[in-house]
Chains A and B, each alone.
Chain A
Amino acid sequence: MRKKTFAAAALLAAASLTLSACGSGDDSGTPVSVVSEDPAARKAATVLDQPFEKPDLVLTDTSGEKYDLREETAGRPTLIYFGYTNCPDVCPLTMNNIAVAKKQLSKAQQDALRVVFVTTDPERDTPAALGKWLKGIDSQVVGLTGDFDTIQAGARALGISIDPPSKDKNGKIVSTHGTQVIAFSPKTDGGYLLYGEDATVDDYTKDLPSIVKGERP
């Protein structure tokens, strides 16, 4: 009886080993699969037990005006993302996901919501460059640029780590984007929800109606 159990265990182990060899290989450095999840039960948002305080960011908006984040977004549902416009993949995807989801809200809710895109590459993302890019996504999005150190400190206050743009061996500029979107409640001004970069347009569409009311999705 014992022997049989061992044999079965060995076979199972062998089976799982061979199964794991069928993946895309671990040399890509990117986990391809997420352990089986029930899509219906999956929640995109992480609710933070300890909400983030809104960072004290005073930057420049796309019209070249001073923008005080705390002042301008006080009492309003606010989404903040750190990225840059010379980013082909995650930055436009994240912003488009939010923009498309936002359009499903009522006009009043859309006007109340503040979507803030803070550049992590302020040298290239001038107010004009930011404005042009954001117009291609949603002209209501607030685009902010300014001193990199100020932006980095603001991001750090939200647990988002960004490095200053640097040049690679071919002289091309390498920038960093945040991997999270943080939602702030209109009731408390606290950053109470966190979205990873795999949050989809459906996730935001489902959650935004709660966020504009400061509720848990």
Chain B
Amino acid sequence: MSRPALSAAVLVGALFLAGCGADDSGPGTDGSGSRADLSVGTAYMPQPVSDSMAAGFLTVTNDGAAADELTGVTSDVGEVTVHKTVDGTMREVDTLPVPAHGKLVLQSGGDHLMFDKMKRKPKEGQEVAVELHFADSGPVTVEMPVEAATYRPSGERSGH
């Protein structure tokens, strides 16, 4: 009778994985209700070529059971707009979705923040403060480190 036990163990494993590390896994638990639970990580700005334009990248992780939307970004360094890149063309968008139990990933070659009309040229080693605004959640302030122009976050290739 060891086989059913083994199957059960595998099944539990699969369920656990399905939870993605969120704390409200599985039915029966009350969890955090139907709210988005946002945190921001891996934020950086590659040192720009000029003071006229820069890009910013970050990941918004939503551990909550409800989706949210990034609706705007402000910074004291200049104007910030949110862009989507598709096949080499960047288009400004009003919002980007942050799925429930998911992530909004802004990364080089894809969606990104675009800084425009900057008051100064950010230099490697400095930080640029940005405030992220969401449809439901409160604003989140991020100190975005300015990295080398050729910087890539480690592990980006593997997608984790």
Contacts and interface: CB of A to CB of B under 8 A. Distances in A.
Interface stretch (B9-17, B31-39, B128-136): B9-17
B109 A97 contact: no
A37 B156 CA distance: 12
Contacts of A109: none
A28 interface: yes
A14 B149 contact: no
A174 B90 contact: yes
A92 B49 contact: yes
- The winner among A29, A32, A95, A97 for most chain B CB atoms within 10 A is A32
Kindly state the interface size class of chain A when it binds its partner.
Answer: 35 or more
Majority-rule SS of A interface residues? loop
14 contacts: A14-B14, A18-B17, A24-B99, A29-B84, A29-B86, A30-B110, A89-B55, A89-B112, A90-B108, A92-B49, A92-B149, A161-B88, A178-B88, A179-B88
A32 B150 contact: no
B40 to A, nearest CB: 14
Contacts of A198: 109, 157
Contacts of B46: 92-93, 96
Given A24-B102, A92-B49, A93-B46, A11 B89 contact: no
Majority-rule SS of B interface residues? mixed
B44 interface: no
B48 interface: yes
- The winner among B91, B112, B157 for most chain A CB atoms within 10 A is B157
Interface residues of B, number: 49
A58 interface: no
A40 interface: no
B69 to A, nearest CB: 11
Contacts of B158: 33-34, 36
Please list the 6 inter-chain residue pairs (A to B) with the smallest Cβ-Cβ separation, ordered nearest first: A33-B159, A18-B18, A88-B55, A30-B110, A96-B149, A136-B49
A41 B137 CA distance: 43
Contacts of B48: 88, 92
B87 A93 contact: no
A126 B104 CA distance: 36
B115 A88 contact: yes
Contacts of A170: 92
B88 A177 contact: yes
Given A4-B3, A23-B159, 20 more contacts: A11-B11, A15-B10, A22-B17, A22-B18, A24-B99, A28-B105, A29-B84, A37-B157, A39-B157, A88-B48, A89-B90, A89-B108, A89-B114, A90-B108, A92-B48, A96-B49, A97-B150, A100-B150, A168-B92, A201-B150
